[in-house]
């Protein structure tokens, strides 16, 4: 890998093919997913979407990611939280809510998307952002929490 592509990857990625991994997971044609991505529950991914290394895709409450998306390294996308369960000493249930990422979405490195958020087609999420509210199509948002809309592009 080092000689051929001038890069080093995790041990598992030396022995697996990103496109075969995505196919094994039932993702859309042309999608790719690094071996070190944590995939939980019901995760659906469209065609030609790239899932970067060290991402977390939590589909325990349902997660759909569209086609032609770029999910950068270290991105965490959640569809559940255990706040109530933890603080109630286990007497409350884990909260689940489906999370949806539209087509043509770019999510920058280390961004966190909370449960139940819907990100519209063509949106751009800045690096290291915390997205806790829905994002309109063709919007660019960033920050902690992400502010919307910082910029809107015509779709």
Q: Where are the beta strands (DSSP E) in 46-98?
A: 50-51, 56-65, 70-71, 76-77, 80-81, 95-96
Structure tokens that stand for 81 in this block: 């939280």
Is residue 49 within 8 Å of residue 71, measured between CB atoms?
Answer: yes
Q: Which fold would CATH assign to domain 2-150?
A: UDP N-Acetylglucosamine Acyltransferase; domain 1 (2.160.10)
Band of the pLDDT at 17, cuts 50, 70, 90?
confident
Band of the pLDDT at 1, cuts 50, 70, 90?
low
The pLDDT tens digits of the residues spanning 38-63 come to 999 999 999 999 999 999 999 999 99
- What was the pLDDT predicted at 5? 65
pLDDT above 80: residue 7: no
Structure tokens that stand for 126 in this block: 């800045």
The pLDDT tens digits of the residues spanning 64-84 come to 999 999 999 999 999 999 999
pTM as predicted? 0.89
Q: Where exactly are the structural domains of the chain?
A: 2-150
Q: How distant is the alpha carbon of residue 144 from its chain centre?
A: 17
């Amino acid at each position: 890998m080092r000689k051929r592509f001038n890069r080093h990857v995790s041990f598992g990625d030396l022995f697996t093919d990103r496109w075969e991994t995505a196919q094994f997971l039932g993702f859309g044609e042309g999608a790719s997913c690094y071996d070190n991505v944590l995939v939980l529950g019901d995760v659906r991914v469209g065609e030609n979407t790239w899932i970067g290394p060290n991402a977390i895709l939590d589909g325990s409450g349902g997660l759909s990611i569209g086609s032609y998306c770029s999910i950068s390294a270290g991105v965490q996308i959640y569809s559940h939280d255990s706040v109530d369960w933890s603080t109630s000493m286990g007497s409350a249930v884990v909260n689940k809510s489906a999370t949806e990422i539209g087509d043509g979405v770019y999510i920058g490195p280390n961004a966190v998307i909370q449960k139940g958020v819907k990100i519209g087609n063509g949106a751009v999420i800045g690096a290291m952002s915390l997205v806790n509210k829905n994002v309109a199509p063709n919007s660019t948002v960033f920050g902690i929490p992400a502010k919307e809309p910082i910029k809107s592009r015509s779709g």
